[in-house]
Amino acid sequence: MLLLTCPNCGDRNVSEFRFGGELSSRPKDPSALSSAEWANYLYMRNNVMDAQTEWWHHNAGCGLWFLAERHTRTNEVIKTYPYAKRNA
Amino acid sequence: MLPTKQMSVQLLRQAFNSSQPPPRMWRSHELKERYDVVIIGGGAHGLACAYYLAKEHGITDVAVLEKSYIGAGGSGRNTAIVRSNYLTPEGVRFYNESVKLYEQLSDDLNFNVMFSQRGHLTLAHTDGGVNTMRRRAEVNQIEGVDSRLIWPDEIKRLCPYLDVSDHPRYPILAALYHPPGGIIRHDAVVWGYAHQADVRGAHIHQNTEVTGIKVKKGKVTGVETTRGRIKTGTVLNATAGWASTITTMVDIKLPLTTIPLQACVTEPLKPFLDVVVVSGSLHVYISQTDRGELVMGASVDPFSSYSMAGSLTFLEGIAGHVLELFPALSNVRILRQWAGICEMPPDYSPIMGFTPINGFLIDVGWGTYGFKASPIAGKTLAELIATDKTPDLIAPFRLSRFEENDLVGEKGAASVGH
Ligand SMILES: Cc1cc2nc3c(=O)[nH]c(=O)nc-3n(C[C@H](O)[C@H](O)[C@H](O)COP(=O)(O)OP(=O)(O)OC[C@H]3O[C@@H](n4cnc5c(N)ncnc54)[C@H](O)[C@@H]3O)c2cc1C
Ligand SMILES: [Zn+2]
């Protein structure tokens, strides 16, 4: 993988970006979680060998945190989009 | 270490008998319908476990299932550094038992694994680095591991070509010196364990991929493979980088992220580097093999992946950092580079033993540092399988530590250091 498409800036060298890990959902009410649920949120990962929705940060560019869908075996990037458009 | 007698006799006989092919190191078998124990993953860990199950506990109805060839994973791709100068008492104790097993392994397996305890230097370039090394030296000494802080004059004596002047951007201030650390022939470890497991009756099935795991009422009953079904009550997941792909089959989530790690090797040079040199600040480590090649590695890739492709970014980075340490190497050519995949846990310690599913065991979380643990991991897990009890040595590495908030933080000694 050499290029990644920032939703703001377009195609850029992947070295301009920082990887932010797989997308997970934050607990709605953290204080109501059991230790197991809290550990699950903090540490457990799906770590799929498949298409993965994940965070990227254009840290050497516009500073946007956005989402990408990438196949973790081939590194093929299926699409990138702003977080706000995740359900579109 | 010299090859043992029997092996030399075999070699000699072979030399005078060129018409016969050498005997196979391990045989092929049909899949049996049922095994007492099924080990998924034919790396050094899975094979070591099969060996110790047979040798120490007489459990020989064992299948090792490998989707590719044995040693195709990290066990055939690592840079073969073996050491025990970790940061936590739990870690130091555990890895030290592994070093002890490695010291006996050539004799034990009747196969020369070329363990070369040439000494291991971890360089410190900052005050913070010096403090970490001091702490590690203290913990190591309390645990009886030969390890101490040394200064540039002694570093220079051990490694004359290293630039210990104040010219580099990050001058070398001190180093953690660990004399029993060294390198080993990683393929020989894989082959030796495979051979001795085979001799004792374990079945090694290559080209056999696990595609599903059968669970009934919370208990394992079998596995599905590309070559058919197997009934079993005990399954060990020893697939390292692929560990999460196996545990999803039984709906268990692990605290792992799979990230590639790359390495490269140069053309052979005359021997000049006795010790293994590691610099955490420069993200680089380097050793010279018996053939004279320099084996070099760095930190993990910048993003998670199961792809084992190499990158130019890695080569550029490592070349710069190695030259910072050894300016004299500027004209040396790289012969090859490769990558393997590493399953990184949050605390840089392994995850071993029981899971919520009865009969489903794990041996994962080996990250960038698990090859050195193959003997002790195999041995303790064999004991766990035979006795149905967690050996004390690996109790700190249980899966439940994450919800018990009892992590074993090894980052200060495990990242880059391997
Ligand atoms: C470049 C590099 C350098 C390293 N350097 C060091 C070092 O210096 N020192 C050190 O201690 N460690 C090092 N490591 C880490 C070390 O290589 C690993 O932690 C260790 O080899 C893991 O061994 P294993 O037997 O658990 O797994 P592996 O050797 O990875 O074996 C797992 C096996 O499982 C198989 N498998 C996967 N999925 C399936 C399936 N569905 N069915 C059947 N089989 C399957 C794979 O094909 C593979 O052969 C390094 C790693 C890399 C990549
Ligand atoms: Zn941008």
The mean pLDDT of B263-286, rounded to a whole number, is 95
* Packing angle of the helix pair B89-109, B374-387 (nearest 10 deg): 90
Closest partner residue to B303 (CB to CB) among A19, A36, A39 is A19
Q: What pLDDT does residue B15 have?
A: 72
Q: What pLDDT does residue A1 have?
A: 73
Percentage with pLDDT > 90 across chain B: 90
- Answer yes or no: is B383 within a domain: yes
Residue A80 exposed, middle or buried by CB count within 10 Å (0-12, 13-18, 19+)? middle
A32 interfacial to chain B (CB closer than 8 Å): no
Instruction: Provide the pLDDT confidence category of residue A55 given band limits of 50, 70 and 90.
Output: very high
A contacts of B402 (beta carbons < 8 Å): 39, 42-44
**Contact yes or no for B41/B223 (Cβ under 8 A):** no
B261 plus B141 within the same structural domain:
yes
- Is the pLDDT reported for residue B125 higher than 80? yes
Residue B344 exposed, middle or buried by CB count within 10 Å (0-12, 13-18, 19+)? buried
A36 interfacial to chain B (CB closer than 8 Å): yes
The mean pLDDT of A79-88, rounded to a whole number, is 90
Query: Among all residues of chain A, which has the CA nearest to that of B306?
Result: A73
What global pTM score does this model have?
Answer: 0.96
Q: Where are the domains of chain A?
A: 3-82
- Answer yes or no: is B97 within a domain: yes
The mean pLDDT of B100-107, rounded to a whole number, is 98
- Is the pLDDT reported for residue B164 higher than 90? yes
Q: What pLDDT does residue B158 have?
A: 97
Looking at every residue in chain B, the average pLDDT score rounds to: 95
Place of tokens 């034919």: B42
**Phi/psi of residue B135, nearest 5 degrees:** -65, -45
B contacts of A21 (beta carbons < 8 Å): 257, 304
Query: Among all residues of chain A, which has the CA nearest to that of B313?
Result: A15
Q: What pLDDT does residue B18 have?
A: 67
Instruction: Provide the pLDDT confidence category of residue B412 given band limits of 50, 70 and 90.
Output: confident
Tell me which residue has its CA closest to atom 32 in ligand 1.
B239
Domain count, chain B: 2
Those residues with Cβ within 8 angstroms of residue B66's Cβ, 6 or more apart along the chain or in another chain: B41, B42, B46, B72, B204, B205, B206, B207, B208
- Answer yes or no: is B8 within a domain: no
- Is the pLDDT reported for residue B4 higher than 60? no
B contacts of A77 (beta carbons < 8 Å): none
B200 plus B319 within the same structural domain:
no
* Packing angle of the helix pair B374-387, B186-199 (nearest 10 deg): 30
Q: What pLDDT does residue B161 have?
A: 93
The mean pLDDT of B326-338, rounded to a whole number, is 96
Residue A31 exposed, middle or buried by CB count within 10 Å (0-12, 13-18, 19+)? exposed
Q: Where is the domain boundary, B344, B367, B385?
A: B344
E strand or H helix at A38, and its extent? Answer: helix A35-42
- How close B303 comes to chain A (CA, Å)? 6
A41 interfacial to chain B (CB closer than 8 Å): no
- Is the pLDDT reported for residue B288 higher than 50? yes
Residues B82-101 pLDDT 10s: 999 999 999 999 999 999 99
B218 plus B159 within the same structural domain:
no
The mean pLDDT of A3-7, rounded to a whole number, is 97
**Contact yes or no for A64/A7 (Cβ under 8 A):** yes
The CATH number assigned to the domain holding B359 equals: 3.50.50.60
**Contact yes or no for B278/B415 (Cβ under 8 A):** no
Q: What pLDDT does residue A87 have?
A: 81
Instruction: Measure B364 CA to ligand 1 centroid, in angstroms.
Output: 10
- Answer yes or no: is B21 within a domain: no
Q: What pLDDT does residue B12 have?
A: 74
Query: Among all residues of chain B, which has the CA nearest to that of A74?
Result: B307
The mean pLDDT of B118-134, rounded to a whole number, is 96
The mean pLDDT of B61-73, rounded to a whole number, is 98
* Atom number of ligand 1 nearest to Cα B65: 43
The mean pLDDT of B388-392, rounded to a whole number, is 98
Handedness of CA B316, B320, B322, B327 (dihedral sign): positive
- Is the pLDDT reported for residue B3 higher than 60? no
Q: What pLDDT does residue B1 have?
A: 40
A contacts of B403 (beta carbons < 8 Å): 35-36, 38-40
Query: Among all residues of chain B, which has the CA nearest to that of A48?
Result: B245
Instruction: Provide the pLDDT confidence category of residue B34 given band limits of 50, 70 and 90.
Output: very high
- Answer yes or no: is B402 within a domain: yes
Angle at B414 between CA B412 and CA A18, to 5 degrees: 80
* Domain A3-82 class in CATH: alpha beta
B62 plus B154 within the same structural domain:
no
Instruction: Measure B367 CA to ligand 1 centroid, in angstroms.
Output: 9
Q: What pLDDT does residue B23 have?
A: 76
B214 plus B279 within the same structural domain:
no
B158 plus B37 within the same structural domain:
no
A contacts of B307 (beta carbons < 8 Å): 72-75
**Contact yes or no for B210/B67 (Cβ under 8 A):** yes
B295 plus B351 within the same structural domain:
no
Q: What pLDDT does residue B2 have?
A: 44
A18 interfacial to chain B (CB closer than 8 Å): yes
Q: Where is the domain boundary, B327, B344, B361?
A: B344
Q: Which domain holds residue B275?
A: 120-179+257-344
- Is the pLDDT reported for residue B192 higher than 50? yes
- Answer yes or no: is B19 within a domain: no
The mean pLDDT of B20-47, rounded to a whole number, is 93
A60 interfacial to chain B (CB closer than 8 Å): no
Q: Where is the domain boundary, B344, B365, B394?
A: B344
- Answer yes or no: is B246 within a domain: yes
The residues lining ligand 1, judged by C-beta closer than 6 Å to any ligand atom, are B 40-46, 65-68, 72-75, 77-81, 209-210, 238-242, 246, 261-263, 297, 340, 342, 366, 368-372, 418
- Answer yes or no: is B385 within a domain: yes
Closest partner residue to A35 (CB to CB) among B309, B346, B403 is B403
Q: What 3-state class would DSSP assign to A20?
A: strand
Instruction: Measure B62 CA to ligand 2 centroid, in angstroms.
Output: 54
B192 plus B242 within the same structural domain:
yes
Instruction: Provide the pLDDT confidence category of residue B13 given band limits of 50, 70 and 90.
Output: confident
E strand or H helix at A85, and its extent? Answer: none
